[in-house]
Amino acid sequence: MSTIEERLSALEARVAQLEKPRAVTAAAPRTAAPAAAPAGIVAATDAECTGQYGDPEIRKDPPRWSGESFAGRRFSQTSPEYLECLAGFKAWAAAKDDAEGAIDSQGRPKSHWAKKDAALALGWARRLRNIATTPEPPGPNDTAGGSPDDDIPFAPPFDLGC
């Protein structure tokens, strides 16, 4: 059996190893590449997202979400990362409902609604990423090398003394 000193020095060596700085790899930002869609879930189209029921309110954050709470907000008011986490949770819930054979009050499979929410979440995540990566169009006062007054098609009716 080892002595206390040997065990203490072994622990100190492990702590020193853990405290060493690790090489940081250049990772792409999380918003650059969307996560893989949950199995069997296809992202909703823009028409579905902008439809009457396309921007539902979030009742509760997914259990694995550790960031800012978006409960009480609509899908369009969240982040793409949150929506992908929500879609994964809804896909899991749908698979669980399918396995249990759960049905809603009208006799339809309960998983239908979770799959629909997952598809909408993925659709909104895609839309929000596209908005974040689309450059803004030039404004009316933006010019390419000239003065904003260069293209005024008229002369003032009086002398400005310039």
- Is residue 145 in a domain? no
Distances (CA, A) of 113 to 35, 87, 117: 22, 12, 6
- Is residue 88 in a domain? yes
* Structural domain range at position 128: 78-133
Name every residue whose Cβ is closer than 8 Å to that of residue 49 and which is 6 or more positions away in sequence.
55, 75, 76, 120, 123, 124, 127
Residue 17: the pLDDT is 79
- Is residue 148 in a domain? no
Q: According to the 3-state scheme, what is the secondary structure of 98-152?
A: HHHCCECCCCCECHHHHHHHHHHHHHHHHHHHHHHHCCCCCCCCCCCCCCCCCCC
- Is residue 158 in a domain? no
Whole-prediction pTM value?
A: 0.60
- Is residue 14 in a domain? no
Residue 71: the pLDDT is 94
φ, ψ for residue 57, nearest 5 deg: -85, 140
- Is residue 100 in a domain? yes
- Is residue 83 in a domain? yes
Closest CA to 88 of 45, 35, 138: 35
Residue 23: the pLDDT is 53
Residue 30: the pLDDT is 38
Structure tokens at 50: 């902008």
Low-confidence ranges of the chain (pLDDT < 50): 24-34
**β-strand partners of 57:** 74
Residue 33: the pLDDT is 38
Number of structural domains in the chain: 1
- Is residue 156 in a domain? no
Distances (CA, A) of 120 to 40, 50, 58: 13, 10, 12
